[in-house]
Amino acid sequence: MTAAPSVSYSITVRIELPARPTMVSDLTTLIERAGGVVTALDVTASGNRRLRVDVTCAARDSDHAKEVVDALRQLDGVEIGKVSDRTFLVHLGGKISIEPKVPIRNRDDLSLIYTPGVARVSQAIAENPADARSLTIKRNTVAVVTDGTAVLGLGDLGPLAALPVMEGKAALFKRFAGIDAFPICLDTQDTDEIVRTVKAIAPVFAGINLEDISAPRCFEIERRLREELDIPVFHDDQHGTAIVTLAALKNALRVVTKELSDVRIVMAGAGAAGTAVLKLLLAAGAHDVVVADDKGVLHPDREDLNESGRWTAENTNPRGVKGTLRGALPGADVFIGVSAPNIITGDDVATMGRDAIVFALANPEPEVDPAEASHHAAVVATGRSDFANQINNVLAFPGVFRGLLDAQSSHISTDMLLAAARALAGTVGDDELNAAYIVPSVFNPDVSNVVAAAVAEVAGNERERTERDHERVERERERETKRGDAGVEGVATT
């Protein structure tokens, strides 16, 4: 599959050329013949005989961008000046900053926000730690934590190379949910040290967003942090993907008028994202799910499975399917790929059942060419922005954390994830729903608020239940104490 030109490989080329009437058409025609897409053309200087023009165009990749520039050199009288990669320009100096929320204009201001005034606030928090949520940044701050071992689809690039991604994540938290997030890139891959470090910095934050940590370590890191911290821990690669996938599948099933409990689902990928998607599908009511990894279908007889794979084998595949991914596809209603590029073809999709649904989420290259899949499937979704139905985690994590922070939740539960998926699916109304629109745009202004409200409601209900249970236990303890005291008094009297 040939990738389409993308703004991710957008360049601006400064060109000087003769001032002739056909200048604009000559430039745009040449770029289009080279496979690029012109997005802007600005005349930055003009003389009697020559013009200076900044041409911005999108290319398929870095090599293609060079080909476009080389093609421009072929125009008569052209001089190529500076070529700027717009993606790198956006990242210069980083993408986030910290700014004070209160003015610091004079000694009075300084005395209020720092010494001596701040000492009173510190003493108040020491006496009542819960006040930290109202008197510090804690109430609205999330740590975006990674060790750089699974950066996007690029693999183990290390913590420094992960920093631009974590900065971007922090910027998205602010843009879509008003949350102050900070990137924490740890220079260790030791599970114990990561858990210990995150616990040590946790007092600053109201939530932890784990990001781009490789499987299977990510499972243990998340589990231990959830057990040992009193703030919610969310692994976006797992649970963000799961929420948006479930929401999109709910709407895709509405399009083809099928029920989740009735359909046969085949999944490719048993890593962090695949396992989380699977567990949420099962919690939502899916029954017939077959999961395959690069060695074939997972089933209890396989002896090469790790702990997570063993769980999957024991909780899926009710029909006892064995063999390859391709062998599991015939008759399936749904294919969900969270694995590797180009592992199936349009012909494989053709073997699926009537009105099939295909979610090919590997990025940037999906498991199957979306154009080929669309010839045989009723609904096709990918992880890419240049096709319809993008399964994008930005639809989930800002709203999820907004709800968690608003409810001052100490944890995140499966019920909250299900509520987020239902709310996200519900943002697409019956009058909007169609095969090319099963999830809303990430810029839909309602998404974050709707998801946040759904999560906050469940979090609030769970907290009330916990408080009632705690009160009941305390009452039982008091009654037991009174009965014990009465017994002691009777013995003493005797």
Ranges of each domain in the chain: 6-91, 128-231, 240-447
Each residue's pLDDT tens digit, 111-122 = 999 989 999 999
What's the distance, CA 448 to chain centroid? 13
Instruction: Kindly report the backbone phi and psi dihedral angles of residue 309, in degrees, each rounded to the nearest multiple of 5, phi listed first.
Output: -65, -35
Bridge partners, 185 (sequence order): 146
pLDDT tens per residue, range 284-316: 999 999 999 999 999 999 988 888 889 999 999
Report the pLDDT value the prediction gives residue 354, as an integer from 0 to 100.
Answer: 96
Q: Is the distance from CB of 283 to CB of 414 less than 8 angstroms?
A: yes
Per 3-state DSSP, the chain is made up of helix, strand and coil in percentages (nearest 5) of 45, 20, 35
pLDDT in tens, 455-490: 999 998 988 887 676 777 777 777 777 766 666 566
Fold of 128-231: Rossmann fold (3.40.50)
pLDDT the model gives residue 479 = 74
Report the candidate in 152, 157, 187 with the shortest Cα–Cα distance to residue 168. 152
Q: Just list the catalytic residues.
A: 114, 169
Distance between CA atoms of residues 395 and 428, nearest Å: 12
Residue 184 to residue 334: CA distance in whole angstroms: 37
Based on DSSP, count helices (H) and strands (E) in the chain, helices before strands. 18, 14
Give residue 158's region: left, alpha or beta (phi > 0; psi -120 to 50). left
User: What percent of the chain lies above the pLDDT cut of 70?
Assistant: 96
Q: Which of 249, 234, 221, 181 is nearest to 409 (CA)?
A: 234
pLDDT at 491 over 60: no
Most confident stretch, 70-79, 215-224, 252-261, 461-470: 252-261
Specify the higher pLDDT residue, 475 or 46.
Answer: 46
Residue 255 reports pLDDT greater than 90: yes
Report the chain's C-alpha Rg in angstroms: 28
Q: Which residue bears the tokens 């060079």?
A: 66
Average pLDDT estimate for 69-74: 89
Q: pLDDT-based confidence at 1, cuts 50/70/90?
A: low
Of 16-30, 397-411, 476-490, the least confident? 476-490
Q: pLDDT above 90 covers what percent of the chain?
A: 66
d(CA 150, CA 214): 5
What pLDDT score was predicted for residue 492?
Answer: 57
DSSP helix/strand/coil, 475: helix
Name which of 361, 366, 334, 338 is nearest 349 in CA terms.
334
Q: Do 128-231 and 240-447 show the same overall fold?
A: yes
151-170 tens-digit pLDDT: 887 889 999 999 999 999 99
Superfamily of domain 240-447: NAD(P)-binding Rossmann-like Domain (3.40.50.720)
pLDDT at 494 over 60: no
Instruction: Give me the pLDDT at residue 152, please.
Output: 82
Q: What are phi and psi of 184, to 5 degrees?
A: -125, 105
Tens-digit pLDDT profile for residues 376-396: 999 999 988 778 899 999 999
What would the mean pLDDT of 213-221 be, rounded to a whole number? 89
Confidence (pLDDT) at 23? 77
For 489, other C-beta atoms within 10 Å of its C-beta total: 10
For 6-91, CATH number?
3.30.70.260
108-132 mean pLDDT: 92
